[in-house]
Amino acid sequence: MIQPQSILEIQKQVLLRVCEDKIKFKKELQKAFGWLSSNELIQLRRWVKDNYGFTHRDIISEVFRPLKSSFESN
């Protein structure tokens, strides 16, 4: 039986397809906040930093800033 993919894995695939276009990449990262749990967002942040940290560092920092802030306030 085929296991359905998680939304996190689907989001990673989308980011792989749009990574050459910084505007689309940023939009897809922002969309993830509406679909993923906090734990999944942490996993996604780690994945994008590992895979795109050199090329999209500014976007990653900007998009994930609210997530970082929410953890610092707890």
What gap in Å lies between CA 39 and CA 57, rounded to an integer? Answer: 21
Residue 49 forms part of a structural domain: yes
Residue 65 forms part of a structural domain: yes
pLDDT-based confidence at residue 74 (cuts at 50, 70, 90):
very low
Residue 2 forms part of a structural domain: no
Residue 64 forms part of a structural domain: yes
Model confidence, pTM: 0.83
Residue 27 forms part of a structural domain: yes
Number of folded domains that form the chain: 1
- Residue 55: which domain range? 10-72
What gap in Å lies between CA 12 and CA 17, rounded to an integer? Answer: 9
pLDDT digits (tens, 9 = 90+) for 14-53: 999 999 999 999 999 999 999 999 999 999 999 999 999 9
Residue 3 forms part of a structural domain: no
Residue 43 forms part of a structural domain: yes
